[in-house]
Chain A
């Protein structure tokens, strides 16, 4: 069966510090991968998605970036965090055209 992991689970960072969040998927090959952010406990905003190694599509302009160095690894990064980057970050995977399955999430607080 497939599983998706995210770490860390929680993170408190000062404004201006760098960020690296990691997501890995087990039990499948060549998944589509997604990063979402959920602010203030409400709707989800798609940040990035990837259909293959090194292929990243950005959905919104921001100071975040994503990379996919391996087939089942997806990384979300920032060089300098802003207060507005606080939120709940969710990674998801899917087979093409099929429902997305979400990881446990990382709660980021920027102070």
Chain B
């Protein structure tokens, strides 16, 4: 398996533009997580899905952020409109169905909003 695949690896966009980040989890994994990492705040859980259903989105900063998981093999995180303070590395991770939930991370998308 190729692991968790995220695209793009790098994104530079202008303030006010819409940004869409993509994630393909490992086949067979039933949980998917979106994290944001910055120097100031560390690693923050934004939202997680279980069997394609959003379970906890309390970490989503505000209404400008939305996430979807239309099927078991694809998820998106959208920011509209983007702001400079959204600049961060965004990670997607997936986890299999088992009691001990080890997370497998993608390589991340580095987002810069100018």
> Does B associate with A?
no
